[in-house]
Structure 1
Amino acid sequence: MSLFDDDFYSTKVSKRAARESRKRDLGFPYRSGTRKWSNVRIAFVSSITSAVAATLLFGVFFGGGPGIGNGGGSVATAGTISTVDPLERPIQASAKVRPAVVSVINQQMFAPGIGNGQALPKDSEVKGTLREAGVGSGVIISKKDGKAIIITNYHVIDQAAAVKVVLMNGETREARVVGKDQITDLAVLEIDAKGIDVVAEIGDSSALRPAEYIIAIGNPLGLGESVTTGSVSKTKQIVPVSLNQDGVYDWEQEVIQIDASINQGNSGGPLIDLNGRVVGINSMKIADLGVEGIGFAIPINLAMPIVDSLIKLGHVPRPYLGVYTMDLEQYWQQQDFEDAFGKALEGEDGKSAEKDAETGEKAVPESGGAPLKLPDDIYSGVIVLEAVGPAKDAGLLFNDVIVKLDNQAIGSTMELRKYLYTQKKIGDDIEISYYRDGQLKSTHFKLGQKEDEEE
């Protein structure tokens, strides 16, 4: 008996209602007529429909749909569905490249005696002992004529009397420096290709996107293989650098900023994407108190033209002005220092030691020059300490202050170098505006070519 008067709430079902219910259950719900479907048939159709829907959804979310997982520019092959575990991709990518990653050992001459001491200059007449001075990394990019070509950093092999390469299997081989370029911090080595079966695949650094997953491979501290992972923080970062590590910024480097660890010894190793392609050459990091996860790599698209030139010529041909310089701003700072302390900043030989505007090499200015005479409104420019080559032939002298190149204002050695290397070519005409004894003058001449031995 029902607890309620309304039969809608009653648990008792009449025989007539039961018959009507069974009749409705056996009828096809979307078609009028008398055709009957069994419960088994309905369950079978539902299962097939669910399976098709699940397959389509799986294909869309795991690589089957166009524009997803393929950069938006390709469609997966018909009948194939990618089922690779995302966590496996870094493992597979690093395994693809690791056999092509090498350790690079910089050997220099050290004075005989107990302890490491300091390395002897390359032109020293003192007979020393060849020792390991530093360890970096490199990556094999090609094989040709029985030789394997390796990319590394300039600073990894700088000042080396000899270079050795350690393969991933632990074998050590002698290496020859094919070419090096301080401006881009790149160098190319060559070793015997016997037994080397894997070379790294070159990727496209212009396709990188912020937050994209990347892997840095190298040989930190000479302890063996290292794989660090992270993401791209910025695809294009401009970083000021001091070519001679003297604290004076004299060049700007375009790099990829990453948060993967670039430890000491990782320099020169490859930065790769999840396809195992080299997209950069690990170069440097910011090492400061409280700073973590800021590393930099040279984009492979910028590196390869330099590498090709080093392979073909042994150096990178650039236009040559022929001046040793000092920034006018730095000169004023020294004057302020002398006024405050009554003592000039001196080099080891008692003279101000400055650098070549184009090579960063130390230069000693000529003595006996008159003090600078400039208009009161000139605060920036480049002081000529010595003119050689084309500049000397054009009549530039000690204490001339360059302020413009082709009507482009020049305020520092960095700006002078950037203008030459990005806007001019070897043999181009150039106009130089400069001050001499307070008078603005100008001269024209053709840019020369820097010879390799002058670097």
Structure 2
Amino acid sequence: MSLFDDDFYSSRVSRRKNRWIQEDAKQSKVLRSKSNWSNMRVAVLSSTISAAAAVLLFGTLFYHGGDSSDKKTPAASSAVTATQTADPYEKTITAAAKVRPMVVSVINEQYALGGISSSTGDDSEAAEGQLQQVGVGSGVIFEKKDGKALIVTNYHVISGSERVEVTMTDGTSRVATIVGGDQITDLAVLQIDDKGIGDVAEFGESSKLRNGEWVMAIGSPLGLGDSLSSGIISKTTRMIPVSLNQDGNYDWEQEFIQIDTSINQGNSGGPLIDLDGRVVGINSMKIADIGVEGVGFAIPIDNAKPIIDSLIKYGVVKRPYLGVYTLDLDQYLAQQALTKPKDNMDVPNTGVDGSSVEPNAGVDGDTDSSSLSDAVDDTGIIIPDEVKDGVIVLEAVGPSQEAGLKFNDLITKLDKTPIGSTMELRKYLYEHKKIGDTIEITYYRDGEKQTVKLQLSEKSKDDD
């Protein structure tokens, strides 16, 4: 027998029902219904009463005795909305649709080497037609003001460019002006005409991110514009050493968000967004090596905001300027260990600065160094036994030169803080000092400890 083979699910009119509604002048309806009462009707009535009681009881418990007419409808609506918005697939689609129109491709154009006319000395005409694309990155429009739209991207995306071109999601291109850039934080701000540009991207709060949270990267990987990739946050805060000059020597340490979202060439400068469509980071780099998968990094937007503000206001990030070009002591010693001849007769007699150096010469030119506990290097640098870390001054300019620092001075402290590398020197300056502050430098010259105080200045364009 089918589940639906009964009167409750049939379109036919029951004979019992016909008999139930017939008029009988000689007998009341009450008596009639009693005489025709069946087990089925008893079961139906009992079920109905039980269901009604359950609904009333549930309503009382759920609304704590409140007025159901006031609370039922909003609660039901909220439950439906929560169920819909909790769907991660829908949220990725909604978030991507919100931000994608604001994401652009950033094209770095430079003059081709063959386009420069060295024979005539006039390269303006020859080079003008030889601009070529040397790199593609991404950017995101975050502000509109006074007929202009501002775009944030990576510094390395536009570094060395003669012209920067921006391609919108609709395929149109515009020439961009560089408002400012900062190599240390790898951020830059561009400006274009805001014609046809609607909304701008909303910045979120990277400090509220959690490990495992879903995020998406939008950009132009391999030049393929308007491309999406998704993943999770592997680590909200990861300190990564950076070589600013790309020479293999780490001279800065930067905070990143580590993600497993696919990041490829061309993604640099594009936004990392959360599932609410807010920019929480600027995609910056990935680790590309054999056996490495899903290790990408983005600059936290909370760290980027003050840099962006400074670039808009000044075109640069104003930082205290010491005026020294340095080499880490441990790096220097490693180089010396590799190049130092085994035979003392082959020790070179030329220092780093090209001056003549006598092998084993002491502080005052005394060739008998047996009484000295200081190590005399074959370049003329005297490194005391107690000194294990520091930075060697290769050139002193600006405030340092005015204070008397010279080539081969070995800096070991700033104020009372030990300095073991160029990275530590920079971090101390930028995190603990401001323009105009006084700083005390402890250094060794010819093996003797000295100190000097100087006032930190602002770096000018002539100091670059």
Scaled to the shorter chain, the TM-score interval is 0.7 to 0.9
Q: CA shift at 1:253, angstroms? A: 0.8
Measured in 2, the distance between the counterparts of 1:418 and 1:151 equals 24
User: What TM-score, normalized by structure 2, do the two folds share?
Assistant: 0.76
Measured in 2, the distance between the counterparts of 1:111 and 1:53 equals 84
Aligned to 2:144: 143
Q: What do residues 283-326 of structure 1 show as CA deviations (whole Å, max 9, x unaligned)?
A: 00111100101000000000011000000000000000001111
Alignment of 1:329-340 (within 5 A): 329-339=330-340
Whether the 8 Å CA contact 1:136–1:266 is kept in 2: the answer is yes
Alignment of 1:8-47 (within 5 A): 38-47=42-51
Deviates more, 1:443-452 or 1:369-378: 369-378
Q: What do residues 9-67 of structure 1 show as CA deviations (whole Å, max 9, x unaligned)?
A: xxxxxxxxxxxxxxxxxxxxxxxxxxxx95334423444566789999999xxxxxxxx
Aligned to 1:196: 197
Whether the 8 Å CA contact 1:366–1:385 is kept in 2: the answer is no
Deviates more, 1:86-95 or 1:176-185: 86-95
Whether 1:433 aligns to 2:442 is: yes
Aligned to 2:229: 228
Whether the 8 Å CA contact 1:211–1:231 is kept in 2: the answer is yes
Deviates more, 1:331-340 or 1:101-110: 331-340
Q: 1:442 aligns with which of 435, 439, 451?
A: 451
Alignment of 1:346-385 (within 5 A): 366-368=353-355, 371-385=380-394
- The one-letter code matched in structure 2 to 1:107 is E
Q: Secondary structure at the match of 2:247?
A: coil
Measured in 2, the distance between the counterparts of 1:414 and 1:443 equals 21
Aligned to 2:314: 313
Aligned to 1:93: 95
Measured in 2, the distance between the counterparts of 1:256 and 1:136 equals 19
Aligned to 2:414: 405
Cα 1:181–1:49 change in 2 (3 A) is farther
Aligned to 1:393: 402
Q: What do residues 102-139 of structure 1 show as CA deviations (whole Å, max 9, x unaligned)?
A: 000000111227xxxx9x9xx99685311001000000
Q: Which runs of 5+ in 2 are unaligned?
A: 1-40, 64-73, 344-349, 357-378
Q: CA shift at 1:221, angstroms? A: 1.1
Deviates more, 1:332-341 or 1:441-450: 332-341
Alignment of 1:231-250 (within 5 A): 231-250=232-251
Whether the 8 Å CA contact 1:366–1:386 is kept in 2: the answer is no
Measured in 1, the distance between the counterparts of 2:50 and 2:420 equals 77
Measured in 2, the distance between the counterparts of 1:96 and 1:333 equals 52
Q: 1:424 aligns with which of 421, 433, 453?
A: 433
Whether 1:131 aligns to 2:118 is: no
Measured in 2, the distance between the counterparts of 1:232 and 1:54 equals 41
CA RMSD of superposed structures (Å): 2.9
- Which structure shows the bigger proportion of residues in helix conformation? 2
Aligned to 1:80: 78
Alignment of 1:163-174 (within 5 A): 163-174=164-175
Measured in 2, the distance between the counterparts of 1:264 and 1:124 equals 35
Measured in 1, the distance between the counterparts of 2:457 and 2:94 equals 49
Q: What do residues 378-429 of structure 1 show as CA deviations (whole Å, max 9, x unaligned)?
A: 2211101111100011000111000000010001101000100001110101
Q: Secondary structure at the match of 1:230?
A: strand
Measured in 1, the distance between the counterparts of 2:220 and 2:445 equals 52
Q: CA shift at 1:341, angstroms? A: 8.7
- The one-letter code matched in structure 1 to 2:328 is D
Q: What do residues 75-108 of structure 1 show as CA deviations (whole Å, max 9, x unaligned)?
A: x989523232332110110010000000000001
Measured in 2, the distance between the counterparts of 1:226 and 1:324 equals 41
Aligned to 1:158: 159
Q: CA shift at 1:198, angstroms? A: 2.2
Q: CA shift at 1:244, angstroms? A: 1.4
Q: What do residues 321-361 of structure 1 show as CA deviations (whole Å, max 9, x unaligned)?
A: 0011111111111111112599xxxxxxxx99xxxxxxxxx
- The one-letter code matched in structure 1 to 2:100 is R
Q: Secondary structure at the match of 1:169?
A: coil
Q: Secondary structure at the match of 1:414?
A: helix
Measured in 2, the distance between the counterparts of 1:38 and 1:111 equals 97
Whether the 8 Å CA contact 1:152–1:187 is kept in 2: the answer is yes
Measured in 2, the distance between the counterparts of 1:48 and 1:187 equals 66
Measured in 2, the distance between the counterparts of 1:394 and 1:217 equals 49
Whether the 8 Å CA contact 1:315–1:452 is kept in 2: the answer is no
Measured in 1, the distance between the counterparts of 2:270 and 2:381 equals 47
Measured in 2, the distance between the counterparts of 1:340 and 1:270 equals 52
Measured in 1, the distance between the counterparts of 2:112 and 2:45 equals 88
Alignment of 1:271-350 (within 5 A): 271-339=272-340
Q: CA shift at 1:225, angstroms? A: 1.6
Cα 1:418–1:57 change in 2 (3 A) is farther
Q: Secondary structure at the match of 1:301?
A: helix
Q: Percent identity?
A: 57
Structure whose alpha-carbon radius of gyration is higher? 2
Measured in 2, the distance between the counterparts of 1:124 and 1:241 equals 39
Cα 1:46–1:268 change in 2 (3 A) is farther
